[in-house]
Amino acid sequence: MATKKTEDAFSLAFDPSNFTDSFREFAEKGAAQSKEAYAKMKTATEEAARTVEATVESAQSGTVELGLKAIDALRANAETSLSHMEALLGVKSFSELVELQTAFIRRQAELAVEQAKTMQEATRKVAENVTKPGKEAAERAMSNLKKS
């Protein structure tokens, strides 16, 4: 009889159907968690790729814009210098030469200041546009962390 009680106690404590159900439930939870983690990782990776793409596009268009501004500045300087050379060819006196040269230097200084301001503003704008996608992505990430 002692054997019968031992068998009953063992069979109650270790029921293979309960073990199978528990293992299945554990496996299903693990699979669901893995799918959820994969979906989050995939979304984060896609967002990061979009952020990098937007940053590269902004940098590229900004570089083109800055290049065009530099070309405009060089063109303006070349045209001013050529006009000044033409004017120098028509000089009739030394005082006229000094007056012409002084006006040219003053105009070049003003033009240089104006061009520097234009380039500085364009550079600031390009920098803002380049950093904007990364800044927005960081804000979204912080917002998502706060929600979690």
Question: Predicted confidence band at 4 (pLDDT cuts at 50, 70, 90)?
Answer: low
Residue 66 forms part of a structural domain: yes
Give tens-digit pLDDT for 70-97.
Answer: 999 999 999 999 999 999 999 999 999 9
Total tally of structural domains belonging to the chain: 1
Give tens-digit pLDDT for 22-63.
Answer: 788 888 898 888 888 888 888 888 888 888 888 888 889 889
At residue 93, the pLDDT reads 94
Q: What is the 3-state secondary structure (H, E, C) of the chain?
A: CHHHHHHHHHHHHCCHHHHHHHHHHHHHHHHHHHHHHHHHHHHHHHHHHHHHHHHHHHHHHHHHHHHHHHHHHHHHHHHHHHHHHHHHHCCCCHHHHHHHHHHHHHHHHHHHHHHHHHHHHHHHHHHHHHHHHHHHHHHHHHHHHHHC
Residue 10 forms part of a structural domain: no
Residue 8 forms part of a structural domain: no
Model pTM score: 0.63
Residue 76 forms part of a structural domain: yes
Residue 1 forms part of a structural domain: no
One-letter amino acid identity for 5?
Answer: K
At residue 120, the pLDDT reads 95
Residue 9 forms part of a structural domain: no
Which residue range(s) make up the domain with 48? 19-147
